[in-house]
Structure 1
Amino acid sequence: MKLPNPVLFSHQQVFHQQLLFCLRRGVLPRKKPELQQVLEHRMREQHKQSELALCPPSDMEVKLYARTENHAAGGYELEKKKRSERLQNIPEFVHVRGTLKRTQTFS
């Protein structure tokens, strides 16, 4: 057997070679390599996406999606705008009176 070069010798490289050897022989307990696990996970996700694309969304899902879009896009801003318009329609003296602090009068 050839002696390893101490400059090029790497413990990680030896460990990787041992793992590959054990995997080929089937010594490891039914554990797939990480790359194979990732590829299988991606294939499962693609399969789920294709199944979801085949069946149309239900009416409830469409309404929920529209509601969340409305809420996220501008429902809050629209409500805030309406509130500010209501405040603008109030006469100024009513608005000022509402902002004043309550003072006690002693008799």
Structure 2
Amino acid sequence: MKPTSDELREFMDAEQVEEKTLQHSLSVADGLVDAYCRGNHLDRAEKLRPGVGEVILTVAARLAANPGQVQVREQVGPVSMLVGEGFSGFTLTEQFVLNRYRKRGL
């Protein structure tokens, strides 16, 4: 079953994130996984294969945490905060899961 915005909000522990941002992040994450696996992430019943929903959830969380997807550095006196660039590809763990279902050329 595909992750919902409520599951994403609970996973992120972020009540202040807008519903629209969560929905968009889930949609983009699903598209990225679909493209990476070339449609093979779904079984014959059109359900997500094991582990794929969790990958979509973690990717969506990174997308929702930084919707602009740009690196930002803020500094006030000696205190600074750096927000990374957001999604820059699947992590090694995510690739490990997705590579089980990825269609590969010969």
The answer, yes or no, to whether TM exceeds 0.5 is no
Tell me the TM-score normalised to structure 2 length.
0.23
Higher strand share goes to which structure? 2
Which of the pair is proportionally richer in helix?
1
